[in-house]
Chain A
Amino acid sequence: MYHEVARTQPEDFLRLAQLLRSEIDKSQGARRAIAHACYYAVYHLMAAHFQIDPRSRAGSRHGEIKDLLAGFRFVPPVPRHVVIARREYPRLMLLRARADYNLEGPFTSAQANIALRAAEEIFAAIPGASRPC
């Protein structure tokens, strides 16, 4: 049976991370999933901001989004959520990479909390956007 499904939005990734918040201190998997979801929430948000199609490899790689943000200048003024994303993107990227690939070392609650807090701040700063709960 097929259901009509609404287009997935970047904040859907953040909502998933928020759903897992209660598991942060209990589950290593939840912590890693939070860092993963938070990063992709911000990745898709920024891809949309820069009008980059994530389905196309050209220009949509993680490092390229990071470089686009790093190369941003503040004239003309940029939206607040992009200012915060620019600050936080490399950290989210590194946390996501560690969460997804470095299974040797522990992924701590603090790391998951940092990722969640950063993504929440970015989304909360979107003008007129309803804040994901």
Chain B
Amino acid sequence: MTSIDSLPAGTQSLCRMSASQKMEIPRLPEPLPLDDIVALVQEKVNDAVLNKLREWAAWGRRFASESRAGAEMIARWPDQVGSAPTPDAISQRHLLASAIMELERDFERKFFPILWELEDQRKTVETYSPQIRAAWVGFIDPTVKAIEETLEIIRAARFQLQQPTTTGGRSTFTLTRGNGKAGYRAALAYKKVADEIFDTDSVITIEDFRGERYFLVNVPVADPDGLYRDQEEKIHYVIEQLAPECVGQAVLQYVPRSGAHSA
């Protein structure tokens, strides 16, 4: 079995680091104080508010530049392992692809909520004065672009590593703001309801299979081979009532509860 030691020196240390260490995950700036928001709504704009927004915009541009640099570093990883169809090279590619996938998942977990937050902000600022709206969008646009581009670069690097051993695959899955956000949001909704009904703490995983992305909610149960019809009926019913747009966007699957064992 190929170990990290067999990878080229440049990639070894990257694989050993945890996903969150591989890239500095920036934080969203603090929201505006309530008084400022009220002032914005009432269009009593003062220089301090505008300056704050300009600071955010500068932060957004810096974030875009830094995250792109990080992603481009990852984009060079595939070139550091061989592309020959030998068992060693294939193992190295698998190992590196796994490391990149881990990072990709980590990035998605951290940044999808930020994307949603920015989307909400974008709707809110539509009601503000043109001056404020322009300043605010100056922060939102580079931040959203940075998140989306970074994810696309990371995904392309992983796909490049997986490509030589992929057979019969369809076209590449392209993560878009629409499918990624909707799927993850649906998985969170399903998790929340499933956790209530099963009185457990389920785990969301993402599975890419033949060009389709599946958001899985892994529910720990005593008997993972069981058919949980009544519970599933309740879960779907609740989701249909509370978040109908989430129905059919996540897959429930059952895993052994720790301490339990199936026959």
Some 11 contacts from A to B, beta carbons below 8 A apart, are: A63-B211, A83-B240, A86-B248, A91-B252, A94-B209, A94-B212, A97-B210, A101-B168, A102-B209, A110-B226, A113-B225
Question: CB distance B251 to A97 under 8 Å?
Answer: no
- Say whether B248 contacts A74, CB under 8 Å: no
Interface 1/0 per residue, A36-65 and B, CB below 8 Å: 000000000000000000000000001100
A70 to B225, Cβ gap below 8 A? Answer: no
Which residues of B lie under 8 Å from residue A109 when comparing CB positions? 225
- Of all chain A residues, the one with the shortest Cβ separation from B241 is A74
- The SS class assigned to the B binding surface is mixed
B168, B214, B229, most chain A CB atoms within 10 A: B214
Q: Is A87 engaged at the interface, CB distance under 8 Å to the other chain?
A: yes
Contact across chains for A97 and B236 when beta carbons are under 8 A apart: no
B205-239: which residues lie under 8 A (CB-CB) from chain A? Answer: 207, 209-212, 214, 224-227, 229, 232, 236
Complex alpha-carbon distance, A99 and B15, angstroms: 32
Within the assembled complex, what's the spacing in Å between the Cα atoms of A54 and B227? 31
With A94-B207, A109-B225, A110-B225 known to touch, is A86 a contact of B212 (CB < 8 Å)? Answer: no
When the two chains form their complex, are residues B227 and A70 in contact, meaning their CB atoms are under 8 A apart?
no
Neighbour of A90 across the interface among B168, B224, B249, CB < 8 A: B249
The 5 closest A-B pairs by CB, nearest first: A110-B225, A70-B248, A86-B248, A91-B251, A87-B236
Could you tell me which B residues sit within 8 Å of A by CB distance? 168, 182, 207, 209-212, 214, 224-227, 229, 232, 236, 240, 244, 247-254
User: Does A73 belong to the interface (CB within 8 Å)?
Assistant: yes
A15 in the interface (beta carbon within 8 A): no
Residue of B182, B214, B229 near A94 (CB, 8 A) is B214
Could you tell me if A93 and B210 are in contact, using CB atoms closer than 8 angstroms? no
Across the interface, which residues of A come within 8 angstroms of B207, CB to CB?
A: 94
Min distance, Cβ B12 to any Cβ of chain A, angstroms: 27
Shortest Cβ distance from residue A72 to the other chain B in the assembled complex, whole angstroms: 8
Does B225 lie within 8 Å of A74, measured CB to CB? no
Q: Are B210 and A74 in contact (CB under 8 A)?
A: no
Contact with B along A99-121 (1 / 0, CB 8 A): 00110000011100110010000
Known: A69-B248, A74-B240, A87-B236. A93 touches B227 (CB 8 A): no
Please name all residues of chain B whose beta carbon is closer than 8 Å to the beta carbon of A94 when the two chains form the complex: 207, 209, 212, 214, 251
CB pair B224–A110 under 8 Å, yes or no, is yes
A73 with B209, Cβ < 8 A, contacts A113-B227, A114-B227 known: no
Complex Cα gap A110–B255 (Å): 11
Q: Complex: how many Å from CA A93 to CA B210?
A: 11
Task: Assess whether A80 is interfacial by the CB under 8 Å rule.
Answer: no
- Residue A66 at the B interface, CB < 8 A? yes
> A97-B212, A110-B254, A114-B227 known; 7 other A-B pairs, CB under 8 Å?
A87-B248, A89-B248, A94-B207, A94-B212, A98-B209, A108-B225, A113-B225
